[in-house]
Amino acid sequence: MTDLLYSEAETDLRAAVRALLADRADPAALPARLEGTGPHDAELWHALAGGIGAAGLLVPEKLGGQGATHREAAVVLEELGRAVAPLPYLTSSVVATQTLLALGPSDEAAELLADLASGRRTAVLAVPLTTAPDAPLPTEPPTAPTDTPATAPGVTVTAVADAVLADVLLVPRPDGLHAVDAAEAALRPLTPLDLTRPLAAVTVPANAPGTRLADAGTSRAAVRSGLVAGAGLLASEQLGLAEWCLEEAVRHTRARHQFNRPIGSFQALKHRMAELWLEVAGARAAARNAADALATGSPDAPLAVAVAQAYCSRVAVHAAEECVQLHGGIGMTWEHPAHLYLKRAKADQLAYGAAGHHQDTIAGLVDLPAPAP
């Protein structure tokens, strides 16, 4: 039976992560940071990954991790979503880690997992952020882009999230999955909509030194596993984001007065926020169900993940839009962080498969195909 409630250990973990982010990752300070040194905070990442041990939650203790489950990792992502924190947790500690775990036992994968669990290194799966779990992978070497030297053909993948922060790239090739040092690849930063999750085009030369981690069949299954985990736990990030937007909208409409009364007391606004509360409650159920299904290895995990993504991505965008609109003119300014939440929500809406793709997946899994046009 699925348990949607939070355990005592999960509540303690949430308190630790929230306290760290409240001290070191104030959303109100993000716009200024984006104009200065950039979104990534290496010290914050090391505090979260190594200090709290969040990076190793999915890694077994015998490999240097915490031996926890996707439920605990989901709690971390809820808090990172609430803070719209610019950290590579989803890409490195979930997608890349889950992919390596699914490869099975090998010395190379075990060594890399230990480094990821401790926060000593970060890794990303070199596929576009929009890749759905059941979508084709960019494994065929494409034509080199015009700004790439012709002497260095290889695999080029666009829109790889957090690649500029990674130490290791997990590159799917026709012969299997390869671990390549990021310094051996050519990275071309792109301009993302979500400024807190950098994107880059990655070109890995054919002659780049690297380690082949598994054969093609094993690699394909492992990559699918990593993408399913990423899509499922992304719902928790979207949940946290939506919760912050709702709470911030309620706080502002209580404090903002017009006609000598709080604007939140007007019935039209109360109805909008009550409707949003119901949507967030539904998103919490969907996200928790997906995390629990992944944690228990349920055969219904692909369906739970598709349901969570199809629902939570829409709720996160709606919550961010309402937050911006209910703040009036303040919500339209660069200084207020509401726009960062809206951009993160819109980018997340396409990450690991759009809502429409996941709805088609649901229809296929329950044998209910869409009617012919």
Per-residue pLDDT at 139 = 56
Report the CATH number at residue 96: 1.10.540.10
Final residue before a domain boundary, out of 97, 121, 145: 121
**Host domain of residue 65:** 8-121
Q: Tell whether the model's pLDDT for residue 105 goes beyond 90.
A: no
For residues 359 and 248, what is the distance between their CA atoms, to the nearest angstrom? 30
pTM: 0.94
> Number of folded domains in the chain?
2
Phi/psi at 177 (5° precision): -95, 130
Domain shared by 110 and 225, yes or no: no
Q: How would residue 141 be classed by pLDDT, with cut points 50, 70 and 90?
A: very low
Q: Is residue 163 part of a domain?
A: no
- Output the CA–CA distances (angstroms, integers) from residue 185 to 138, 153, 154, 170, 222, in the order listed: 16, 11, 10, 11, 22
Q: Tell whether the model's pLDDT for residue 145 goes beyond 70.
A: no
Per-residue pLDDT at 36 = 82
Domain shared by 250 and 115, yes or no: no
Q: Tell whether the model's pLDDT for residue 188 goes beyond 80.
A: yes
Q: How would residue 46 be classed by pLDDT, with cut points 50, 70 and 90?
A: very high
Mean predicted confidence (pLDDT) in 35-46: 87
Please provide the average confidence, as pLDDT, over all residues in the chain.
Answer: 92
Q: Is residue 253 part of a domain?
A: yes
Q: Is residue 209 part of a domain?
A: no
Final residue before a domain boundary, out of 83, 104, 121: 121
Domain shared by 224 and 342, yes or no: yes
Q: pLDDT per residue over 235-288, tens digit each?
A: 999 999 999 999 999 999 999 999 999 999 999 999 999 999 999 999 999 999
Q: pLDDT per residue over 256-270, tens digit each?
A: 999 999 999 999 999
Final residue before a domain boundary, out of 74, 98, 121: 121
Q: Tell whether the model's pLDDT for residue 230 goes beyond 90.
A: yes
Q: Is residue 195 part of a domain?
A: no
